[in-house]
Chains A and B, each alone.
Chain A
Amino acid sequence: MQEEIKIEFKDTNFWYNSKQILVGINLKIYSNKITALIGPSGCGKSTLLRCINRMNDLIPISKIDGKLLYNNENIYEKDTDVIELRKEIGMVFQKPNPFPMSIFDNVAYGLRIQNMKDKNKIKQIVKESLEKADLWDEVKDRLNLSAFRLSGGQQQRLCIARSLAINPEVVLLDEPCSALDPLATAKIESLLRKLKNERTIIIVTHNMHQAKRISDYTCYLLNGKVIEYSGTAEMFDNPKNKLTKDYINGEFG
């Protein structure tokens, strides 16, 4: 079966000042799959992820060249609508970072940004999003509670619900479980597995087991270069590159 390509890096290079962080990246991300990005600390995983929703634009010293296609269009053209792009490509960060507002307002935030006024519709979408994030049952009686009162795992699922509310096609997750315990992690993993039916998911993780458990494809990044990229089972059972083998074994061992 031919996979549909959602995102494609074409000879993408990235610099902070004169320091090159990403080197000649060529990478195809497939629709409705979970792709894991692994690699040692500082190798450029977050940077690569943040190229996709152009969050790196916020850092004035950053520079990018090459192409990055999303739905077959280069998102680094002059006339790219970055705001629109970020509505379609959601992001969940390493540290749960809800806004200092109620649970409800957190999820409704993206809708209000888009000027949605219909209160019933907002309520409906907030409920659906919390359900998709497996959080609804835990918070349905206290939607007006400050989001800070939730546990770390709940906060992270709230952040996922918040990004799902505006119905993104792609969800980027940067080590979403690194601050969570195994139980909260398991919840998020099962939730991601469900989500991939409708969305494309890219997840950065330090946890080899996690990559193996949930992803369809895995990309091993080292010093800003793609060392190996293949189906997850293949990569873990039979890594082609010695560097990949060392890393995987080292991290597992």
Chain B
Amino acid sequence: MPNYRNIKEKLIELLLSTASITALLILIGIFVFLFITGIRTFTEISPTEFFLGNEWNPTAYGEPKWGILSLVIGTIIVTFGSLVIAIPLGIASAVYLSEIAKPKIRETIKPVIEMIAGIPSVVLGLIGILFLSPLIAKIFGLSSGLNAFTSSIIVGVMVLPTIISISEDVLTSLPNEFRESSLALGATKWQMIRMTLLPAALSGIVAAIMLGLGRAVGETMGVLMVAGNSRAMPISFFDPIRPMTANIAIEIKEVVKGSLHYEALFAIGLVLFVMTFVVNFISDIIIEKQVRKYKW
């Protein structure tokens, strides 16, 4: 008699492995496409000009400029600014939810935070344009509130749920023994959090931050709407900026397919891809380590 259970298991196995191999192939395909299209840029533009030139103006008459430095800096500023906002807020909320809030309050707040993660970025962008940027302009006496600061807030709000929910998961998953033995030694609740829980959860929290960072680097719509999109090299937090993502989104619709400009946008995409890939890769390793640390 044939062993049907065995066959069924084999089939399920095959299906699952096909699915994951497909996903892997798609990822590789995207990378290859980006790479082949993007790399052609460097047959005409030197990498030095591309990476270190601080003027980006591919459509300038006569002498187009191909430096992405100001765009990269725009991305870095928004990422940095958003994390400065989201890290302390995120960790504080996670600690509150996991260690201080009563179960009822936690059950109410958690879904709300997860809903924030579900708000389309275009909606946050709208709120940024209509409410936040006039407010910021007023508070700081600026002619326009569309700048790096406003974008940092918007992106900060976007990455906040990621940081909160992963950090909270990591904290809640810590064995209760850590809490009890700390308190039994006469620790206050705050000492227990600071001296036991946060160090124990550190790598997981770092991973949460890295995931948030990956999201901030790749965020497009929200920043496109509130960043001001000036190509000039930003000097302060209140300057308008144009992150790499926004630049691609703005220009891709005007370029001729196959032109140098088109290829250069793909090269920017390639740089972005590498940035987020590295960030995600590192955070995966950290999470993996964190999970293994407490299997005892």
Contacts and interface: CB of A to CB of B under 8 A. Distances in A.
A159 to B, nearest CB: 7
29 contacts: A55-B180, A58-B183, A83-B187, A86-B185, A87-B185, A90-B184, A91-B181, A91-B184, A93-B177, A93-B184, A97-B180, A97-B181, A99-B178, A99-B181, A99-B182, A99-B196, A100-B200, A109-B182, A110-B186, A113-B185, A113-B186, A113-B187, A113-B191, A113-B195, A148-B296, A159-B181, A162-B185, A163-B185, A166-B186
Interface string A196-207: 000000000000
Interface string B172-202: 0001011111111111100100011001100
Q: Main secondary structure on chain B at its contact with chain A?
A: helix
A99 B200 contact: yes
B188 A83 contact: yes
Interface in A52-105: 53, 55, 58, 83-84, 86-87, 90-91, 93, 95, 97, 99-101
Nearest to B202: A100
A159 B181 CA distance: 9
B294 interface: yes
Contacts of A166: 185-186
Contacts of B293: 100
A100 B199 CA distance: 8
Nearest to B187: A113
Contacts of A84: 186
A109 B195 contact: yes
A90 B180 CA distance: 12
Interface of B: 175, 177-188, 191, 195-196, 199-200, 293-294, 296
Nearest to A99: B196
Interface in A144-177: 148, 159, 162-163, 166
Given A100-B200, A101-B199, A148-B296, A83 B180 contact: no
A95 B184 CA distance: 14
Nearest to A86: B186
| Most interface-central of B181, B184, B196 (chain A CB within 10 A) | B184
**A contact patch SS:** helix
Contact of B177 (A58, A95, A162): A95
B149 to A, nearest CB: 39
A77 to B, nearest CB: 18
A36 B163 CA distance: 48
B184 A114 contact: no
Chain A, interface size category, equals 20 to 34
Nearest to B295: A148
A110 B184 CA distance: 10
A48 to B, nearest CB: 16
B185 A110 contact: yes
Contacts of B183: 55, 58, 86
A112 interface: yes
A97 B185 contact: no
A40 B195 CA distance: 37
A88 B179 CA distance: 18
B186 A83 contact: yes
A83 B180 CA distance: 13
Contacts of A100: 178, 199-200, 293-294
Contact of A97 (B175, B191, B199): B175
B107 to A, nearest CB: 15
A97 B293 CA distance: 14
A84 B181 CA distance: 15
A151 to B, nearest CB: 12
A252 to B, nearest CB: 32
Nearest to B179: A58
A90 B178 contact: no
A29 B293 CA distance: 40
A100 B292 CA distance: 12
A157 to B, nearest CB: 14
Nearest to A60: B102
